[in-house]
Amino acid sequence: MRIGVLTGGGDAPGLNAAIRGVARRAFQRGFQVSGIKNGWAGLLGEGDLEDLTPASVRGILPLGGTILGTSRTNPLKKRVGSTRSSPCSEAAVSTAWSRSAAMTRCRSRPP
């Protein structure tokens, strides 16, 4: 199983710790982890992915920002002055959600 990790909305303390935590738990369970670079903009654009490995998440806790990058792109934002988003953006979001859902299938398991 492959898990996708995306950081969006801007840098915040703890993002690298969250990325590291998700990746390490996934590695323990035998999953592969892909980091989606530049948040929703990266997923909606070219789908820029980086395979994360134990070596790539080692030593990232003291680093500022996020190793994946982020953006303030809102995939559900409506156009200004309109009550609906454009069909093109709705299709892009739908495609992105499908890609995201396919990459990030999650199972609820007790700890």
Ordered by where they begin, the domains of the chain are 2-103 (3.40.50.450)
Beta bridge partners of 40: none
pLDDT exceeds cutoff 60 at 95? no
More confident residue, 69 or 33: 33
Distance CA 21, CA 23 (A): 5
Q: Is the dihedral of CA 55, 42, 16, 60 positive or negative?
A: positive
pTM: 0.66
Segment among 9-13, 43-47, 62-66, 107-111 with least mean pLDDT: 107-111
Distances (CA, A) of 61 to 26, 67, 111: 18, 10, 23
State pLDDT tens for residues 35-57.
988 888 888 877 788 899 999 99
State pLDDT tens for residues 68-86.
888 887 777 765 554 544 4
Q: What is the DSSP letter of 29?
A: T
